[in-house]
Amino acid sequence: MVTKDIPPYAIVGGNPAQIIKFRYDEAIIDQLLNLQWWKYGPEILNDVNLLDINECIEVIKTRKERGLFYV
């Protein structure tokens, strides 16, 4: 049971929930948070290799820089 906010990209478990680990390292989490990718439509993730987080970040950055997606 989760009874309070948890940090972004944290994996929690147990009752009460406790942080087990983070999905990515701190540098990747910072990049993802700075991109604010969730503010864009799902189209920003079209044809993105979600299994390679570094490639994913670069594609989203490029698409944002080119103005292909708007908030």
Torsion of CA 7, 8, 13, 18, to 10 degrees: -10
Q: What is the pLDDT of residue 71?
A: 52
pLDDT in tens, 9-65: 999 999 888 999 999 999 999 999 999 998 888 888 888 898 999 999 999 999 888
At residue 31, what are phi and psi to the nearest 5 degrees?
A: -65, -45
Angle at the Cα of 8 from the Cα atoms of 30 and 11, rounded to 5 degrees: 125
Residue 47 tokens read as 């044809």
pLDDT at 69 over 80: no
In this prediction the pTM is 0.81
pLDDT in tens, 10-22: 999 998 889 999 9
Q: What is the pLDDT of residue 45?
A: 86
